[in-house]
């Protein structure tokens, strides 16, 4: 187990214990999942309910333990060979994304993983931050495009690694993160070309070129 100050968290729509039981039931319907352990734990921080589950994929077994104090669910345990945060986050996403996707479809919710910041990246400007927060609430394409437009208009420069980091913190799976990262840079390029086309059009009109 990694010794992290902050764990990846899930904020369920119901009591944490009930949420774990729903996941336990759902696991039985999905291929590749296995329940390794179910227990109640007591510590100086209180009483917890826990599930340790595994997903078999590509001849390997990925393990995550979920621990609930009734309000929040923490992903706290994974395969012992994982010894860095990025791999911990990726493993947790791999195991939890299919479960949460099916859970959300069944219960009409938008439950997702909350992945803490690792290190101290440069914060987004307030306007860009507000628009990205709006996207995080909805995970809708329209809200994401508003974020792209704002970044273009106010010249907010973000490299691919930073965009991926922001998107991963929303709890999206790695495939969706790659798709949205590509959309972000395609959008910025289109807006840049559109701006250049407007300048060229204005120059042509002032010069009289293209007029009949």
Give per-residue pLDDT as tens, 23-59. Answer: 999 999 999 999 998 988 776 666 788 889 989 877 7
Reported as type and span, the H/E element at residue 83 is: none
Tell me, what's the pLDDT at 79?
52
Tell me, what's the pLDDT at 183?
96
Q: Where do the DSSP E strands lie in the chain?
A: 8-10, 33-43, 46-57, 60-68, 73-78, 113-114
Tell me, what's the pLDDT at 81?
52
Q: Is the pLDDT of residue 4 over 70?
A: no
Enter the CATH code of domain 8-114.
3.30.310
Which of the pair, 66 or 60, is modelled with greater confidence? 66
Tell me, what's the pLDDT at 171?
84
* CA separation for the pair 207, 204 (Å, rounded): 5
- Report yes or no: 61 and 55 within 8 Å, Cβ to Cβ: yes
For 36, 45, 73, 105, 165, the CA distances from 102, given in Å and listed in that order, are 20, 32, 17, 5, 24
* pLDDT over 90, % of the chain: 35
Q: Is the pLDDT of residue 209 over 60?
A: no
Instruction: Give mean pLDDT, residues 10-31.
Output: 92
Tell me, what's the pLDDT at 18?
93
Residue extents of the structural domains in the chain: 8-114, 126-207
Which of the pair, 212 or 134, is modelled with greater confidence? 134
Report the predicted TM-score, pTM, of the whole model to 2 decimal places: 0.58
Residue 64 — pLDDT band, cuts 50, 70, 90?
A: confident
Residue 63 — pLDDT band, cuts 50, 70, 90?
A: confident
Q: What average pLDDT does the chain have? A: 82
User: Is residue 32 left, alpha or beta, with left meaning phi > 0 and alpha meaning psi from -120 to 50?
Assistant: left
Q: Is the pLDDT of residue 16 over 50?
A: yes
* CA separation for the pair 5, 74 (Å, rounded): 12
Q: Is the pLDDT of residue 147 over 80?
A: yes
């Amino acid at each position: 187990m990694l010794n992290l100050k902050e764990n990846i968290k899930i904020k369920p729509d119901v009591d944490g214990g009930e949420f774990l039981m729903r996941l336990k039931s759902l696991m039985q319907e999905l291929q590749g999942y296995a329940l390794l352990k179910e227990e109640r734990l007591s510590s100086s921080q209180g009483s917890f309910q826990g599930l340790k589950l595994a997903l078999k994929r590509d001849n390997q077994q990925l393990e995550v333990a979920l621990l609930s104090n009734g309000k929040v669910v923490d992903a706290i345990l994974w395969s012992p060979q994982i010894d860095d945060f990025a791999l911990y986050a990726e493993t947790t996403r791999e195991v939890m994304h299919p479960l949460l996707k099916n859970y959300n479809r069944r219960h009409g919710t938008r439950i997702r993983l909350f992945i803490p910041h690792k290190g101290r990246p440069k914060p987004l400007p307030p306007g860009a931050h507000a628009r990205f927060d709006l996207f995080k609430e909805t995970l809708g394409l329209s809200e994401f495009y508003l974020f792209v437009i704002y970044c273009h208009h106010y010249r907010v420069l973000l490299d691919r690694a930073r965009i991926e980091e922001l998107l991963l913190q929303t709890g999206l799976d790695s495939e969706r993160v790659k798709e949205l990262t590509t959309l972000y840079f395609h959008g910025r390029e289109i807006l840049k070309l559109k701006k250049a086309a407007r300048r060229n059009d204005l120059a042509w009109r002032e010069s009289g070129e293209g007029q009949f």
